[in-house]
Amino acid sequence: MSRTTDTSDVLIIGGGIIGLVTAWRAAQRGFATAVVDPDPGGGAAQVAAGMLAAVTELHYGEQTLLGLNLASARRYPDFATELTDLTGHDLGYRRCGTLAVALDADDRAHLRELHALQRESGLESEWLSGRECRKLEPMLAPGVRGGLRVDGDHQIDPRRLTAALMAACERAGVVFHRVWAEHLDVVRGRAAGVTTTDGTALAAGQVVLAAGSLSGRLSGVPDDVLPPVRPVKGQVLRLTVPERYAPFLSRTVRAVVRGSQVYLVPRENGELVVGATSEELGWDTTVTAGGVYELLRDAHELVPGITELPLTETRAGLRPGSPDNAPLLGPTELPGLLLATGHFRNGVLLTPVTGDAMAHVLATGELPDEARPFTPKRFALSEQPA
């Protein structure tokens, strides 16, 4: 037997950064809002590097996603100011730019193509010779063959961002249920809340599924509505730059080494984040010797001096991947159930625009223009015969 202890206007399943920003913005609109999550403020953001890399993360075939990424990047300065003013939290938001470099002729050809795509897309990025790259970042390896300077790709500390979102939610009166949602409750063809693992029924006018890489696993969600989201594992290292080496790097430095992405993200507090592997291994979050070895080997080729730095943390997290690498936002075919999931490798970047879009759709029933291409219904439609 379940017991109802609480009813809200909006119930959010999952308190990662996406669930939290949705809850905060919904509460600001006057909705009585609750979040169900055994560990709100945990999730992938505890691992993520926090690059806000709309331009350097551009890939062929992802121009629609680029529009949303840029819309979110544009909102970041005001979003960060609002959150800091409200909570007093320093978010580690750093407008430092990014340098993407090439280590060999193949990398350079690949980077030239990316540069052409960026220019076709009207994005700002500047080609630099190897010497110019090293002038900007003297710790780079002597073999660097050229690179792209992108002054508009910044960074934030996702752990600090999460802590600030938790504080903002608490101030806005969001209620936290620290327990798993076990089952979506559907009443007369409409999502009506969830039953939790301790047997409590939480009722709500609208339910938002924001459970990250677990979003496709909630029982009670009809099969044709379950989001096609899968976990993509990423291992990350954290090193510390001692005072005597500072400034070690002044901006994010990244490269593709033997086909794998490697990046170094320097924080103002001396932390240096090195990431990330990309592995399709289900929900496994083991840190492996091979993962750590590959990251250190590739990062060392890029910036040889990193082997001098203390290694302070190794960790793995799960990106919520979707079939087109873009998020699923807004109403589903099940009335009362909305999605905010599938943010894959750009969830930190997409936090501001997701919060705004979800609050808008919760209030009006319609996605704002910039979020319309990301309706979950796009996957259902693509499966219909032509």
Ligand X SMILES: Cc1cc2nc3c(=O)[nH]c(=O)nc-3n(C[C@H](O)[C@H](O)[C@H](O)COP(=O)(O)OP(=O)(O)OC[C@H]3O[C@@H](n4cnc5c(N)ncnc54)[C@H](O)[C@@H]3O)c2cc1C
The C-alpha atoms of residue 370 and residue 368 are separated, in whole angstroms, by: 6
For residues 275 and 331, which CB has a smaller minimum distance to ligand X in the complex?
275
Binding segment for ligand X (CB under 6 A), chosen from 185-193, 280-288, 345-353, 360-368, is: 345-353
Beta bridge partners of 200: 3
Binding flag, residue 321, ligand X (CB under 6 A): no
Q: One symbol per residue from 221 to 250: x for binding ligand X (CB under 6 A), - otherwise; what is it?
A: -------------x-x--------------
Beta-sheet pairing, 230-240 with 311-321: antiparallel
Contacts of 148 (CB under 8 A, 6+ apart): 56, 99, 100, 101, 111, 114, 115, 118, 125, 126, 127, 128
* Pair 171, 181: CB distance under 8 Å: no
165-194 binders of ligand X (CB under 6 A): 180-181
For residues 69 and 125, which CB has a smaller minimum distance to ligand X in the complex?
69
Shortest distance, CB of residue 292 to ligand X, whole angstroms? 13
Concatenated DSSP letters of 307-318: GGSPEEEEEEEE
For residues 146 and 193, which CB has a smaller minimum distance to ligand X in the complex?
193
DSSP 8-state assignment for residue 349: T
Binding flag, residue 355, ligand X (CB under 6 A): no
- Which one of 11, 14, 107, 355 is in contact with ligand X (CB under 6 A)? 14
Binding flag, residue 211, ligand X (CB under 6 A): yes
The C-alpha atoms of residue 263 and residue 255 are separated, in whole angstroms, by: 6
For residues 146 and 349, which CB has a smaller minimum distance to ligand X in the complex?
349
For residues 130 and 226, which CB has a smaller minimum distance to ligand X in the complex?
226
The C-alpha atoms of residue 158 and residue 337 are separated, in whole angstroms, by: 27
- 219 class by beta-carbon count within 10 Å (0-12 exposed, 13-18 middle, 19+ buried): exposed
Q: One symbol per residue from 259 to 298: x for binding ligand X (CB under 6 A), - otherwise; what is it?
A: ----------------xx----------------------
Tell me the three-class secondary structure of 269-304, residue by residue. CCEEEEECCCECECECCCCCHHHHHHHHHHHHHHCH
Binding segment for ligand X (CB under 6 A), chosen from 46-54, 109-117, 127-135, 293-301, is: 46-54
Q: Which residues bind ligand X (CB under 6 A)?
A: 13-19, 36-37, 39, 42-45, 47-51, 180-181, 210-214, 218, 234, 236, 275-276, 317-320, 341, 343-349
